[in-house]
Structure 1
Amino acid sequence: MQQPGLHGRNRDKNGEISRKHGNTLVSTLRKIYGPSFAPAAQPSDRLADVLVEMDEPSLTKLVHDHERGDLEGKVASA
């Protein structure tokens, strides 16, 4: 399923993010990306539960860091 604004990427690619980081809380990701990350989600929501409904700016940040290999280190240090 192609989404606008993802520069040719699709949400299927994010299955890997969900498998690796699905238990990460939105509150942890907001420590990394700021309070506007996934604004519709509750802080106690898990990434796997909100990933398919995530807004484009938040998803782009997440995919970018994952593709660069930075996401795991950022989550671990948050």
Structure 2
Amino acid sequence: MDSHIEAKRRPEWLKWTIRVILGYALLLAFILAVTIIAILITFTFIVIDGFSETSSMGVISERYFVPISEFMWQIFTWLVPGL
């Protein structure tokens, strides 16, 4: 008598479908996280400029962080259908 029990294997197409969906979700989460971080840095720089009555950090945020957040948000809305 053979005591070896065969485990049921999931179909290969199901494994790849789950991998693709999870990869897509991780990509969206990464893009959204970078966008939120860039927006928070921009907001923080503007608040610091408001208290210190200078504009040097606002210029840095407008030059570097605003284009990054706009670009990442455009990618996010392009990747999510219906937005």
Higher helix share: 2
Q: Which of 1 and 2 has greater Rg?
A: 2
